[in-house]
Structure 1
Amino acid sequence: MNIRKATPQDAAGIAKVQVDTWRTTYRGMVPDDYLDQMTYSRREEVWGKIIEDGQIVYVAEDNGEVVGFANGGEERSNKYSGYDGELFAIYILESYQRQGLGRKLIAPLVEDMKVKGLTSMIVCVLEKNDSKQFYEVLGAEKVDTVKINFGGRDLKEAVYGWKDIDQVKL
C-alpha cells in the first residue's frame, strides 16, 4: 500500500473511488437517482481541476490502483470561529476499509495543512453515516448539526472539529 500526493493522472482513479464509495456508503441516505446519475467521467473532470488548482489531495494505491483518497484545505463556510482548516473528503473502497488507511491518508494531509499555516480543522459528515465514529476516534468533537438539502432531500449533517490540528489522534 502506497500513500502519496495525487497527480492529475490520478483523477480517473479518484473519480472511480468517489462514485463507487458514494454508491455503497450513501445508498438509502441520499436519493438513489442522485447516486445513479453520478458518472466516472464527470467526477474525473472535477478531480482533475481540483488537483490542478493545487488543493491538498492524497491517494492510497494498491498495485498501482487508487483505492482511497483524502483532500482538504481552508475551511469553506467561514461559519466556525476558531477553525481555519477543513477535511473536505476522505473515501476508501469498501474492501479496503477498516485497515488503517484513513489514518494513513489523513496524516500527510494534516502535515500539508500545517505547512499552509492552518492550525485547526473541521469535517462535515451525514448524521446517518457511521463513519462519524472514525472522526470521534481521531479526537474530533461535535461542534454543530446543520440541515442540508441534497438531491431534493433534507438531511442532517454533523460538523466535527479539532481546535488544534496537532491533536488529531493519528
Structure 2
Amino acid sequence: MIRPAVPADAAGIAEVHVRSWQAAYAGLLPDDFLQGLSIESATRTWATRLAEPRPDGAILVTSGQGSAIAGFAATGPSRDEDASPETGELYSIYLLPTAWRHGLGTALHDHAMTTLAGTFATATLWVLSTNTRARRFYERAGWTPDPRTKIDTVADGRITLEEVRYRFSLRDRS
C-alpha cells in the first residue's frame, strides 16, 4: 500500500531514513557519522516537514508486512538552478534494509513518478556517485545519467559528497 504521508508518520519515516542511510552508505561514508545519525532528531525534522507540507510536493509512504512504514519517497519541483518550471525532482526514496529486493522500492518509485507526471514533463534526481547499488536501480527504472555533478557536504562540512544527476522523461506517464 502506498499513500500520502501524514504528520503521524514522522517517526516511521525517520526510522526508515536513518536505517537506510546506515545500511546503504556503509563503506561509502564514515562509520562514526552513520552510527551517530539520530532517529529522534530525524523525527523532529520530519514532524516539521509533514506539519507544513509543500503544496507543490508529495511525500509518499509504503508499508511492508503489517502496518509499519517500510519506505518513503519525496517529490516536488526541481531545486536545480538550471531547471525549467517543467522539471520535477525525486528528492529521496528510501526503504528499510529488510524491505530491499521485495518490489516495494519499484512500486514506490513508480507511484512517485506518476505523481510527478501530473505536474512536470521531466524529472531529475541526485545520487551519490559511489552508490552503485542505487545507480543500478535508477538505470533499470529508465533514468539516464546527466552530465551534471555537484559536491555537497554533511556533518557541518566535514564530509564531502560527490553526486551525479539523473534525468527521466515523464511525458508518457501522465
| TM-score class normalised by the smaller sequence | 0.7 to 0.9
1:1-170 equivalent positions in 2, closer than 5 A? 2-54=1-53, 55-62=57-64, 63-80=66-83, 84-115=87-118, 117-129=119-131, 130-143=133-146, 144-151=148-155, 152-162=158-168, 164-166=169-171
Contact 1:126 1:155 in 2 (8 A): yes
The 4+ residue runs of structure 1 with deviation greater than 6 A are none
Q: TM-score, normalised by structure 2?
A: 0.85
Distance 1:126 1:167 in 2: 27
3-state DSSP of counterpart to 1:15 = helix
Distance 2:112 2:51 in 1: 17
3-state DSSP of counterpart to 1:131 = helix
- Report sequence identity in percent: 30
Shift of 1:81: 5.1
Distance 2:62 2:5 in 1: 9
Q: TM-score, normalised by structure 1?
A: 0.87
Superposed CA offset, 1:92-111 (max 9, x none):
11121112212211233223
Shift of 1:153: 2.8
Alignment-mate amino acid for residue 149 of structure 2: T
Distance 1:74 1:88 in 2: 9
Cα–Cα, structure 1 residues 10 and 64, in superposed 2: closer, same or farther, change >3 Å? same
Superposed CA offset, 1:11-58 (max 9, x none):
100100111111111122122232222111111111122222224111
Structure 1 unaligned blocks of 5 or more: none
Distance 2:84 2:150 in 1: 16
3-state DSSP of counterpart to 1:110 = helix
